[in-house]
Structure 1
Amino acid sequence: MRKPVLTAAAGALALGIAAPALAQDGPPEDSAFTGPRIEALVGYDKVNAGSDVGSSDGVAYGGAIGYDAQFGRAIVGVEGEITGSTTDTRTRNLLVAGDRFRLDAGRDLYAGARVGIAISPLALGYVKAGYTNARLSARYQNGNTTIEDSENLDGYRLGAGLEYKVGPTTYIKGEYRYSHYGELAGYDIDADRHQLLAGVGVRF
């Protein structure tokens, strides 16, 4: 049951953006996607803080490390990541007329696993899931009163992506992921985020 689902997901990700990879002949090498890796990430970040506060867009940036093992066409790996973000959400009249509220997205830590299918000797489609911990900083102003607070929120992340080898040890990747966090204490906020990131990495 799992293998057909993963194959279908990888095929959908590759459609329209991995035609050169699909054209490669022959089975993938057993070690093509094996070993430790390190990568840099940058891309689109959208944080949604609920209907009262709204959402905002920005840029996410950071790096990741991981390790993958290949079994035929199947790839199983673990990874860790730290990113920052330029995203901040602002609103007025949140609690009373004339007040101002700002929510800044800070550092984000992630640890999880991924499974994938080697589409060709050069291309890998994968899905991922894991734990994420994001720091959100809130600033509330009402007249001469200012309240500032930061909180680290636990959550989960789901994602899918495509990795493509551009050299013997280097690769590029594109990835979409969704993260959901718990409520920010003291505010009616249940935060989540959507990200679309690109990356470049080296496998050792």
Structure 2
Amino acid sequence: MKKIVAMLVAGSTIAIATPAMAQSADDPFTGPRVEALVGYDDVKAGSSVDDDGNENNDQSIEGVTYGIGVGYDVDLGGAVVGVEGEWTDSTAKTEFADGDFEGFGFGRVDAGRDLYIGARAGAKVQPDLLLYAKGGYTNAKLNVLANDGVTEFDEDYNLDGFRVGAGAEYAMSENSFFKLEYRYSNYKEGEVDFDGTLPDSERFDVDLDRHQVMAGFGLRF
């Protein structure tokens, strides 16, 4: 996490220190941006927690992910570099199928909010088309639901991991853009966020994969 933060700070410093490049129709990939995001979300139990012994037990939960993103890019000519952050949520959750509980390896869960901070770098293959790769840190939550017949438990797994991805961004004008990207996230550590005055649990190992296909529409300033 410290290495990622240091990298982002360094990238931001470079962006600020770079001589101002006036944004124009010939330079549509420079400056701050804000975007709306929506896409497909597939959260999958990793190999250490999946349930291959029960073919009726779903190995993943799927849904729609949606949210907002912000970023800052610098056009270096043929290349573009930038930093970015996101807040997203998801409708993915475990289901009861024909009376059979599909436990997903984690129990009964809803996918919660997901925070991401990272960097991206790409190449302009056309004046208005950018192909890029991205990577960074992600922190996600799974809301865990349980009931022992007397007490209902409603707690959160707080998960830390990394994200990598690739995509294409098309400059519709000098101030608006559309993008489409695929990203993969992996979570290896987590803790339980207890409500009230109870302290959070000790850190523990998890195994969770996340695949997303995301579309975004944004404005650049």
Fold conserved between structures, TM > 0.5: yes
- Judge conservation of contact 2:188–2:205 (CA < 8 Å) in 1: no
Provide closer, same or farther for how the CA distance between residues 141 and 183 of structure 1 changes in structure 2, counting only shifts above 3 A.
Answer: farther
Structural RMSD (CA): 2.4
- Measure, in 2, the Cα distance between the counterparts of 1:177 and 1:153: 17
Secondary structure of the residue aligned to 1:48 is: strand
* Matching of residue 66 in structure 1 with residue 71 in structure 2: yes
* Matching of residue 159 in structure 1 with residue 165 in structure 2: yes
Aligned residues: 171
- Measure, in 1, the Cα distance between the counterparts of 2:213 and 2:180: 7
* Matching of residue 194 in structure 1 with residue 199 in structure 2: no
Provide closer, same or farther for how the CA distance between residues 93 and 48 of structure 1 changes in structure 2, counting only shifts above 3 A.
Answer: closer
* Matching of residue 45 in structure 1 with residue 50 in structure 2: no
Provide closer, same or farther for how the CA distance between residues 49 and 185 of structure 1 changes in structure 2, counting only shifts above 3 A.
Answer: farther
- Measure, in 2, the Cα distance between the counterparts of 1:122 and 1:144: 60
- Measure, in 2, the Cα distance between the counterparts of 1:203 and 1:109: 21
- Judge conservation of contact 2:158–2:191 (CA < 8 Å) in 1: no
- 1:179 equivalent in structure 2: 185
- TM-score norm. by structure 1 comes to 0.76
- 2:120 equivalent in structure 1: 114
- 1:3 equivalent in structure 2: none
Q: Report how far residue 103 of structure 1 moved.
A: 1.0
- Measure, in 2, the Cα distance between the counterparts of 1:61 and 1:35: 24
- Measure, in 1, the Cα distance between the counterparts of 2:207 and 2:147: 20
Secondary structure of the residue aligned to 2:126 is: coil
- Judge conservation of contact 2:110–2:144 (CA < 8 Å) in 1: yes
Q: Report how far residue 43 of structure 1 moved.
A: 0.6
- 1:130 equivalent in structure 2: 136
- Judge conservation of contact 1:61–1:85 (CA < 8 Å) in 2: yes
- Measure, in 2, the Cα distance between the counterparts of 1:66 and 1:125: 16
Secondary structure of the residue aligned to 2:29 is: coil
Provide closer, same or farther for how the CA distance between residues 116 and 147 of structure 1 changes in structure 2, counting only shifts above 3 A.
Answer: same
Q: Report how far residue 152 of structure 1 moved.
A: 1.4
Percent of aligned positions that are identical? 52
Provide closer, same or farther for how the CA distance between residues 38 and 149 of structure 1 changes in structure 2, counting only shifts above 3 A.
Answer: same
The one-character-per-residue Cα deviations of 1:124-155 (angstroms, maximum 9, x if unpaired) are 00000000000111112344454332121111
- Measure, in 2, the Cα distance between the counterparts of 1:117 and 1:37: 18
- Measure, in 2, the Cα distance between the counterparts of 1:135 and 1:64: 18
- 1:19 equivalent in structure 2: none
Aligned pair partner of 1:168 in 168, 174, 193: 174
Secondary structure of the residue aligned to 1:89 is: coil
Q: Report how far residue 75 of structure 1 moved.
A: 0.5
- TM-score norm. by structure 2 comes to 0.70
